[in-house]
Structure 1
Amino acid sequence: MKKASIIMMLGSLLLLGLFVFPLWNIELGAPQYPEPLGLDIYINGIQGQNEFDIQNIDGLNHYIGMKTLPKPEDMWEFSVFPLVIGGMVALGVLFGMLGYLDKVSYKWFFGWFVLMSVLGILGMYDFNAWMIDYGTNLDPKAIMKLANPDGTPMSYKPPLLGHQKMLNFDAYSYPRLGAYMLFLGMILTLVAGYLGFKKPDAA
């Protein structure tokens, strides 16, 4: 199971890209902004796509009563997520090493994949819940109070994935390089489990 074990370790190590590259990006485009405003979301914080993007977005949000963008110390996720990813990398490498030494079977590789999938789903759920709160929990004393045609307060939640029109802004939300490295790493661990299953002695 040596080949499968090496692939398992490589797949797990790809998750380290999340410590360097953004996981997600939200971009806001409007006629008054020739260059769109953007946010790069990392597992340990949020950075502006350009130098003054966070300042400009917070300025816009102030008028409609949205909260300022959180700093790393404002959200427990930015402290916990790096620990989770680091732990999963270490666990994946450990399983790969033990598999290489014939101490564990391919089932451990599948187990890692399932656990990482569950954590990923929980992470996306948490991210979406944060955006719902961010876009709907507005300051009642805001300068601008906009409503939908039916009279309900307007929501400014960005899309979790894809495009959405918000007033005169086009909001785009898509994964970035860190997410692609995560996805590729998980696919490799799935391949490792499959190879171990098909050829437990030779893989």
Structure 2
Amino acid sequence: MKKASILMIVGPLFLLGLYIFPLWNIMLGAPQYPDPLGLNIHINGLQGMNEFDIQNIDGLNHYIGMQTLPKVEDMWEFGTFPTIIGIMVALGVLIGILGYFNKVGYKWFLGWFILMSILGLLGMYDFNAWMIDYGTNLDPNAIMKLTNPDGTPMTYKPPLLGHVKMLNFDVTSMPSIGAWLMFVGMMLTLAASYLGWKNTKKQ
């Protein structure tokens, strides 16, 4: 059980990388931009990959009626997510320590993994809902009003994951370093649950 508990202690610590590295990344490439515009999504705000990326993205969005990119104070998520991650890290480490001293069993390890998975899915749902609003709630007085072939207004929702063509832009949305660190940490806690279960079966 001690090996499993050590994994349970180490796993949640990988989530601390979310305070340093971006969770997600969106890239916009077009012929007029030899260097693609990039947007790094952190748990506590947005950052351009280059100095003027956010300014340039907001400039492009203005023409088609999209909202400006939100600042920290514009979204409750940027204030709440860091707190949730901190609580989950502390809870995971505490469960691992208690497991090391045989105070709790592997079910607690699995419970932490399930709870973190649910929170992660809720976070992705919220992120996708924001992108839907961001790409479809357009200013009716925009300079450019583009329509689809069937006459409906064109929308500009970035993909949650993968690539899509928007006008002459190639838009790619992918997990970034923070997301991969979180994935590794969660897999370690799942491995801890499995080792704890095997140990219980042997006993």
Q: TM-score, normalised by structure 1?
A: 0.98
CA distance in 2, matches of 1:8, 1:50: 37
Residue 193 (structure 1) aligns with? 193
Residue 44 (structure 2) aligns with? 44
Letter in 1 for 2:114: V
Q: Secondary structure at the match of 1:199?
A: helix
CA distance in 2, matches of 1:202, 1:65: 63
CA distance in 1, matches of 2:140, 2:202: 66
CA distance in 2, matches of 1:65, 1:172: 21
Q: Secondary structure at the match of 1:91?
A: helix
CA distance in 1, matches of 2:201, 2:100: 11
Cα RMSD of the aligned pairs, angstroms, is: 1.2
Residue 53 (structure 1) aligns with? 53
Q: Is the 8 A contact 1:27 1:173 kept in 2?
A: yes
Residue 144 (structure 2) aligns with? 144
Residue 94 (structure 1) aligns with? 94
Give the superposition deviation at 1:200. 3.3
Q: TM-score, normalised by structure 2?
A: 0.98
**Residue deviations 1:120-156 (CA, integer Å, cap 9, x gap):** 0000000000000000000000000000000111010
Mark the runs of 5 or more structure 1 residues left unpaired by the alignment.
none
Q: Secondary structure at the match of 1:165?
A: strand
Mark the runs of 5 or more structure 2 residues left unpaired by the alignment.
none
CA distance in 2, matches of 1:200, 1:35: 55
Q: What stretches of structure 1 move > 6 A for 4+ residues in a row?
A: none
Letter in 1 for 2:191: V
Q: Secondary structure at the match of 1:140?
A: coil
Residue 175 (structure 1) aligns with? 175
Residue 5 (structure 1) aligns with? 5
Give the superposition deviation at 1:181. 0.3
Residue 14 (structure 1) aligns with? 14
CA distance in 1, matches of 2:115, 2:43: 18
**Do residues 25 (structure 1) and 10 (structure 2) align?**
no
Letter in 1 for 2:122: L
Give the superposition deviation at 1:202. 8.5
CA distance in 2, matches of 1:201, 1:148: 60
Identity of aligned residues (%): 75
Letter in 1 for 2:151: G
